Amino acid sequence: MIYLDNSATTRPFDGVIDAMDRCMREAYFNASAAYRPAVDVDREIRACRRLIASQLGAQEDEVYFTSGGTESDNLAILGVAATLRHPANFVCSVIEHPAVLETIRRVEAMGHEVRYMPIDRRGLVDLAACEVLLDEHTALVSCMQVSNETGAIQPIEQLARMARAKNRDVRVHADGVQGFMRVPMHMGRMGVDLYALSGHKIHGPKGVGVLVARKGVRLAPQMTGGGQEKNLRSGTYNSPAILGLGEAVREMAARRDELDRLRAMKTHLWALLSAEEGISLNGPAPEDAQSAPHVLSVSFGGVRGEVMRNALEGEGILVSTGSACASHKQKVSATLRAMGLSTEQADGTIRISLGMMNTMEDMDEAAARMLALYRQLKAYRRR
């Protein structure tokens, strides 16, 4: 099997599984308890906090553990909204993940205005168009760091600067679920106040994530209870998952040089596919600075993405049509439509996403099978 759906989820590193196994067998104590073995678990959790903070130019006490990217996005957006005393406006891009889009709809139902930033043909937020959307009443700007569908790296730093010029007190939220450990992020330098990340996209466990909230950012808790995480996120620490996440970050950091290998694989795969007439790329070119090293969105003209996906599965190659969350709903991708693709083009698209376990041989094999299937399916369609 060749697994090329790493934006949906990744296979955990062996070290992650070992860390979780050890925690569950030997270090199962409640990290908030007072006896020594529990204090030791708490110390390990703190080490994970430090490690995560160090990857983002943040401080250890700005890291809040959650149940994943979805909860982190919810806490950022609803947490800010719940502190507001007057109606304000919230700005996000049209291509956000449902974890942001659906949450921001709830903010709208609370009486705030929501404004959507358009994107250009390459899938990048159109900064010129954003200028008029931002004003002194903008409470929060939310933008994903990397698109889960096209791999486009969004201009967060420029956006943050633009928003702050309009309102000094604006909060900038970046959904970093697809970008964390793959694309650089320094929250201080880039002007990001709130950053959401998820364990299972970086070869860590599912059901664990982090919201990094800079000091001074007021957030109202969305989960109340025992007062963990400085009252911002109650609930017993999911220590196996947190330690597993820490291990994933450690390994991704140790293998950072391999991001070039990832990009080389993506570039190679696209070079093989692009030689065929009818196949087109969505998003920035793989070698562009705005292209993340791991996601490739490809349209196969005249063939439905779903047909291609199923045919590839038959040959042992797993990819997706659009994002995993949207694929079961059978909707045409809002991201691709916003980039100007016709329904037919969007419908003929598959997303190929690479992980640390893929090899160059996987790319050769996947491209050969994709091309052979595409030729067959195109010929069949003409008859």
Ligand X SMILES: Cc1ncc(COP(=O)(O)O)c(C=O)c1O
Catalytic residue positions, numbered: 325
The CA–CA distances, whole Å, from 15 to 23, 203, 211, 220, 285 equal 12, 10, 23, 35, 34
Number of C-beta neighbours around residue 329 at 10 A: 8
Q: Does 294 bind ligand X (CB under 6 A)?
A: no
Total of residues contacting ligand X (CB under 6 A)? 14
- CA pair distance 100, 77, nearest whole angstrom: 8
CB of 71 to ligand X, least distance (A): 7
- CA pair distance 115, 330, nearest whole angstrom: 26
Q: Does 74 bind ligand X (CB under 6 A)?
A: no
CB of 292 to ligand X, least distance (A): 11
Q: Does 68 bind ligand X (CB under 6 A)?
A: yes
Q: Which residues does 182 contact at the CB level (< 8 Å), separation at least 6?
A: 146, 202, 259, 262, 292, 293, 294
Q: Does 203 bind ligand X (CB under 6 A)?
A: no
CB of 210 to ligand X, least distance (A): 10
* Residue 10, token pair as written in the block: 């990744």
Q: Does 175 bind ligand X (CB under 6 A)?
A: yes
Q: Which residues pair with 280 in a beta bridge?
A: 299
Q: Does 123 bind ligand X (CB under 6 A)?
A: no
Number of C-beta neighbours around residue 306 at 10 A: 16
Q: Does 320 bind ligand X (CB under 6 A)?
A: no
Torsion sign, CA atoms 57, 142, 163, 152: positive
Work out which of 209, 244, 283, 293 binds ligand X, going by CB under 6 A.
209
Q: Which stretch binds ligand X (CB under 6 A): 12-20, 42-50, 66-74, 309-317?
A: 66-74
Q: Does 178 bind ligand X (CB under 6 A)?
A: yes
Q: Which stretch binds ligand X (CB under 6 A): 130-138, 175-183, 214-222, 248-256?
A: 175-183
Rg of the chain, C-alpha, whole Å: 21
Q: Does 174 bind ligand X (CB under 6 A)?
A: no
Residues in contact with ligand X by CB under 6 A are: 68-70, 73, 97, 99, 144, 148, 175, 177-178, 198, 209, 325
